[in-house]
Structure 1
Amino acid sequence: MSALGLGVAGMVPRFALATSDGTAGVLAFDGDSIVVAGRTLRVSRDGGAGWTEQEPPGQVLALATHRDRPGRFVAGLAEGGVGKSGDGGATWHIGSAGLPTGEVNAIAIGSREPDLIYAAIRGDGLYKSEDAGESWALAMDRPWLDEAERDPLTLVSVDLETGMGGIWIYAGTERGLTRVPDCFCRWQDVQPGNAMDALVAGDAPPPANPLPKGEPVMSLASSPSVPERLYAALASGIWTSADGGLVWKQVAEGTVSAIAVHPEDETYVAALMGGALKLSRDSGATWTETAAT
């Protein structure tokens, strides 16, 4: 066991989470339920002991929920468009008006506004919908990092006082973490101070202890109950920040493709690690592997 304490207790047969082409699934909490999606969609209402399967409207590349809309799933689709279900995945409607063609590979729902949805289109930009996914408009170009535009691999809306209007959109990319205030004025590194300070200062000091430089950020999660608590899934493991991303610490090692945090309990975390679903009740200090379906 590593010094980071990846204490996996109660080992049981693994839940097959990879899609048929070998790609990892995506993950979200819907209240107390855990939702895992890819080419299929599975929901567990008992902490991973039992699962029900639903048919998604296509291969799901991104998945988002909101604590004020129980049973609503918003899915970014490999075939293009954004799928929305209001009944826990039983039925779906696809909204694509105003979206360009292409994979929707990252999705976020506004932390304060559950009908505000953000979608990243691979090779294009960041789009937003103010009517729960029915119509879309371009909000922002892709982040410019290391002399090139980078696709967001994951998005999360974070309710922090330092953002303009109190909201930041964080994006994980192949070259690390970036964010933009919801005025969509400029992508910027996570840094001390508020959004206006950063815009006036231009190049600002880096965060005190950032995520590993240049490592892809595959998944991000923010706890609505404690929004400054962030979790990040990287190839090196799971990292967490207690201050909105200024200072990060690694809490688990191993290949991690997706992470989610319970909407009412910032210490309850789910992660897809090495092809298995694992749960932590102590902010990632120890982990339990779920049962197979």
Structure 2
Amino acid sequence: MAELDVELPPEVPQAHLVLIDPSEFRPEHRDVQLFRNYIDSPLQERVERTYRAMHTGQTVQFVQDRLAHWGKFDHARLSMLQVIKALDNLVDEADPDTDLPNSMHAFQTAERIRERHPDKEWLILTGLIHDTGKILRLYGEEMWATVGDTYPVGCAPRNSIVFGKSSFSGNPDLSHPVYSTELGMYSRHCGLDALTMSWGHDEYLYRVLQHNGHKLPEAALSIIRYHSFYPWHSGGDYRDFHNPATDDEKLKWVQAFSQFDLYSKSEELPDVQALLPYYSGLIDKYLPSVLSW
């Protein structure tokens, strides 16, 4: 496996990195039914620990605090390739399917899309960058507030959330007179964009792109913002908030993207150095050369 030959500025923090020897990671080639195994995966203890911390700590107040903190975009000035390079040494502890560094997953996803849709440059680039919001972790965010499936805070959790409602037993919002109800602080069919989602890399990257400017279509932003909202796009929950006029198109693109995001995880490791000229061109076409994170 060729590493991404991109120089990182010295101020990129290292304390939160997990040091990786890529030769150790060879995810087995699984049947599609065996992905997203939250019952008895080889990584079960780590995954369950991450989700239980998430379901306890993600409250309305916590998300509001995180939006204010990260919404200053004053943590770093980095190119997209520098961020991907930084994720060489970050493993998603909520993922039961792979122990590969996130940078490898970025290229796996993008290349799978490129095989099927070589004409959709914006979608290929979306596959490459969709998880780069995980740079949150490198700048001190908790793992459980960076990775994993997302869901709305401010209303009662739904059945299809990973590990179920019981994993929220320590969450203080469950005793709140409004936040503990089915609709919570929202109205029926208010639309996804009216929801306050649990804090993590999806919402962060969406806001980074909005803040810095970009040339990606709206469908790309929907994928970035909601690709981890599995209880909605795969579990069929939270449809009482779904507004067909605004959200049907989102659902179509997110569900299509999910097949590439999930099933691209394999033992085939990309030669990222060989791919670099192509992806550098896509980044230059759609994104600023340097972004504020």
- TM category (shorter chain) comes to under 0.3
Greater percentage in helix: 2
Normalized against structure 2, the TM-score is what? Answer: 0.26
Normalized against structure 1, the TM-score is what? Answer: 0.26
Greater percentage in strand: 1
